[in-house]
Amino acid sequence: MAEIHHHLTEPQIAAYASGALPYPFAMVVAAHVSMCAECRARLGAHEVLGGAVMEVLPAETVSDDLKDSILAQLDDTPPDEPAPRRNGIYPGPVAEALHGEAPKWRALGRGTKQAILHQGPNGSVRLLYIPAGQAVPDHGHNGLELTLVLQGSFADADGTFGVGDVEVADDAVEHTPVAGEGMPCICLAATDAPLKFSGFVPRMLQPIFRI
């Protein structure tokens, strides 16, 4: 596994541990954690801390109906399934979203492609395929974007991002990512709001490509 230089923030790991992250961001965090021993250890610390907090909280009284309902749901819960396994370059959480199949790529132009894995009220998560040396159109952000590199690399004003690295870009970031030389760059990217493209053509095509 390549050395990872760009990690998740502490609040993102804490939110994931508590189950507070929307699904698109949770998939990126889960994928990164599966690739990064450092962030996996940080997540474990948050889970231990959360368990300790739960133990000291005062007990809440629940009605018999609620108790019976919860116990019935536990009885209906199937046995734990094995954790999703890595499929080629795709970490377990991504392989699970792909249902074991190859991505259904859709061309965006100039060899760049995307495969939308999920889109809903809380945001979207997609795979991006960027040919070596190709630039993504200059853009800013209306919200948060998490981008995890699964193959190859890309570079922008914030540095170079290789396999396992995650870039955290908020509404203060405007950049023009360029895929590194060699193999195509494949990324997992989650956003909670549409991007802000600088160019006229990308803005016109944005509703069609749902970016």
Strand order in the sheet with 178-179: 159-161, 154-156, 178-179
In sign, the C-alpha dihedral spanning 37, 22, 206, 111 is positive
Please tell me the distance from the alpha carbon of residue 132 to that of residue 127, in angstroms, as a whole number: 16
Name 168's bridge partners: 146
Which CATH number goes with the domain that contains 126?
Answer: 2.60.120.10
Provide mean pLDDT across the span 195-209.
73
The pairing of beta strand 112-120 with beta strand 106-109: antiparallel
pLDDT at 73: 59
> 19 falls in which pLDDT band (50, 70, 90)?
very high
Host domain of residue 169: 1-211
The per-residue pLDDT for range 94-148, each reduced to its tens digit, is 999 999 899 999 999 889 999 999 999 999 999 999 999 999 989 898 999 999 9
> 197 falls in which pLDDT band (50, 70, 90)?
confident
The single-letter code of the amino acid at 155 is: A
CB 29 within 8 A of CB 12: yes
The pairing of beta strand 154-156 with beta strand 123-130: unpaired
The single-letter code of the amino acid at 123 is: G
The per-residue pLDDT for range 177-188, each reduced to its tens digit, is 999 999 999 999
Instruction: Give the phi and the psi of residue 68 in degrees, each rounded to 5.
Output: -65, -40
**Structural domain count of the chain:** 1
CB 155 within 8 A of CB 135: no
Please tell me the distance from the alpha carbon of residue 113 to that of residue 66, in angstroms, as a whole number: 48
Please tell me the distance from the alpha carbon of residue 31 to that of residue 209, in angstroms, as a whole number: 24
pLDDT at 58: 64
**2 vs 73: which has the higher pLDDT:** 2
Non-local (6+) Cβ contacts of 67 within 8 A are: none
